[in-house]
Amino acid sequence: MKLTHVLAFFAFATIISCNGTSSKQNVKMEKQLIEEKNYPKTNNYPEADRSDSDMEKDFVNAYNDSDKKELTALNAIITSRDWVVYNDNLGRPIKRNRIAVVTAQIEDRCFLQHLFFQQDAQGSNYGKTYVSDVYGWKEFDCSLKN
């Protein structure tokens, strides 16, 4: 086997090991993060202003796929009744935002984070949902969500 083949294989294996972290590794990293960050505590668990399982899944996926992700979100709570639509000077929609909360649980500790989700206008429709702003994780008593 040539040295270039060995190096190429090593580089490929390194890429896989960096990008393909297992859920056990993610949990370990998230546990480390919550110990380092010492998130503030809250006694307020938000009520949903609207229930829409498809939108909630979309929000969870948008957060977990974003570069703003710290903890893995498990659920979303839609806390704004409607989308807020922003228009240009001619009245054409350019984007829309909605506020929601995502929740995470690491072992017996629960966390929530308020976020703005955004969709950009694309003609007569809106594009893919993404996270535009985050407001920091807070720890809460897990019994509040029941």
Q: What is the pLDDT of residues 52-104, one digit of tens each?
A: 999 999 999 999 999 999 899 999 999 999 999 999 999 999 999 999 999 99
Q: Is the pTM of this model over 0.85?
A: no
Q: Verify that 74 and 138 share a domain, yes or no.
A: yes
Question: What's the domain count of the chain?
Answer: 2
Q: Verify that 9 and 70 share a domain, yes or no.
A: no
Q: Verify that 110 and 90 share a domain, yes or no.
A: yes
Residue 103 and residue 110 in contact, taking contact as beta carbons nearer than 8 Å: yes
Q: Within 10 A of 86 (CB to CB), how many other CB atoms are there?
A: 13
Which pLDDT tens digit goes with each residue over 15-64?
333 334 456 667 677 778 777 778 899 999 999 999 999 999 999 999 99
Using alpha carbons, list the distances in angstroms from residue 25 to 14, 29, 107: 16, 6, 14
Using alpha carbons, list the distances in angstroms from residue 112 to 21, 71, 88, 106: 23, 10, 33, 12
Q: Verify that 22 and 75 share a domain, yes or no.
A: no
Q: Verify that 85 and 22 share a domain, yes or no.
A: no
